[in-house]
């Protein structure tokens, strides 16, 4: 018997990859996601390679995973892929405190975030 196959969550010409529990604030990660949104994957990989942001290497690795998913799992042409969606979500927040003067404490929040990248195959206009 076995379990029924799960339906696809994205369209036939799309593939996605998701990165969870990345130790960076969602606001900072969204700056990197906005940098690659809507670009061809080759250009997005180059932008991430030479970016000075700390998390850009993690985002690059996730984009390469989305490209591999498109090629191996869905049979899409990697030369015609575009980053159609790149969105950021909140995740766990570690709460710490720092000792301050007069017996007080200051709250320190260490947020985690998650990033989802969807690549889409587009036809070249002649």
CATH number of domain containing 61: 3.90.470.10
Q: Are 45 and 57 in contact (CB under 8 A)?
A: no
Question: pLDDT at position 126, please?
Answer: 57
Structural domain of residue 33, as residue ranges? 14-121
pLDDT tens, 9-41? 899 999 999 999 999 999 999 999 999 999 999
Determine the average pLDDT of the residues in 82-102.
Answer: 97
**CA distance to 60, 73, 86, per residue, from 23 (Å):** 15, 28, 17
Q: Check residue 40 and report its DSSP letter.
A: B
Q: Are 44 and 20 in contact (CB under 8 A)?
A: no
pLDDT tens, 49-89? 999 999 999 999 999 999 999 999 999 999 999 999 999 99
Question: pLDDT at position 8, please?
Answer: 85
Phi-psi region of 12 (alpha: psi -120 to 50; beta: other; left: phi over 0): alpha
Question: pLDDT at position 125, please?
Answer: 63
Q: Considering the domain boundaries, does residue 6 fall inside one?
A: no
Number of domains in the chain: 1
Q: Considering the domain boundaries, does residue 5 fall inside one?
A: no
């Amino acid at each position: 018997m076995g379990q029924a196959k799960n339906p696809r969550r994205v369209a036939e010409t799309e593939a996605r990859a998701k990165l969870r529990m990345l130790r960076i604030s969602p606001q900072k990660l969204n700056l990197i996601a906005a940098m690659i949104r809507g670009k061809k994957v080759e250009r997005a990989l180059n932008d991430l390679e030479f970016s000075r942001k700390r998390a850009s290497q993690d985002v690059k690795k996730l984009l390469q995973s989305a490209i591999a998913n498109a090629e191996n799992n869905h049979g899409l042409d990697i030369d015609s892929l575009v980053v159609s969606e790149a969105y950021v979500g909140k995740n766990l927040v570690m709460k710490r405190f720092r000792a301050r003067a007069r017996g007080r404490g200051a709250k320190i929040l260490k947020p985690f975030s998650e990033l989802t990248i969807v690549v889409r195959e587009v036809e070249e206009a002649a």
